[in-house]
Amino acid sequence: MYLKQYSVQDGVPKAWAYYRLAQIYKHQKDKSKALKYINKAISELPDRAVFTSEKQEINNL
């Protein structure tokens, strides 16, 4: 819902929503969806080490 209604005025980049979705799918053991969303997060904010760290954890599923 957040992503559908997102605007720049929200103040939080969409990458963080993608990151949270990746975490949700990781905990549900859905590796393909988790990778989809973490890759979106990384493409928007490639300098965030927490995103690449999360991707490593997802790849280890």
- pLDDT tens-digit readout, 14-29: 999 999 999 999 999 9
Give the pLDDT score at 11.
83
**Widest pairwise Cα distance in the chain:** 36
Distance in angstroms (rounded) separating the CA atoms of residues 27 and 37: 13
Tell me 57's DSSP state.
H
Mean pLDDT for the chain overall: 95
Interatomic CA distance for residues 56 and 4, integer angstroms: 28
Q: Which two tokens stand for residue 56?
A: 């490593």
pTM of the model: 0.90
